[in-house]
Amino acid sequence: MRYLDTCDRCLTEDSKAIPPSVVVPTGPGAVLATYHCPRCRTTWVCGWGVQEDEAAA
Ligand SMILES: [Zn+2]
């Protein structure tokens, strides 16, 4: 899974990285991923460079 991130608000050593709920392209080679923490329900966004699926390459 691409663009996994962890919640800054309730981050612990046991926190699992979660996948984004939405990924939108923001420019050449760049995307903006939106996350919803299942634990504290905060929402955040993170910009990424595009990560290609190896299987699809
Ligand atoms: Zn959280």
The reported pLDDT for the residue numbered 13 is 86
Ligand 1 center–CA 17 separation, angstroms: 10
pTM (two decimals): 0.81
Ligand 1 center–CA 25 separation, angstroms: 24
Ligand 1 center–CA 23 separation, angstroms: 19
pLDDT per residue as tens, the chain (57 positions): 789 999 999 988 888 899 999 999 999 999 999 999 999 999 999 999 998 776 554
The reported pLDDT for the residue numbered 56 is 52
Ligand 1 center–CA 56 separation, angstroms: 31
What is the three-state SS of the chain? CCCCECCCCCCCCCCCCECCCEEEEEECCEEEEEEECCCCCCEEEEEEECCCCHHHC
CA angle centred on 25, ends 24 and 26, rounded to 5°: 115
The reported pLDDT for the residue numbered 45 is 97
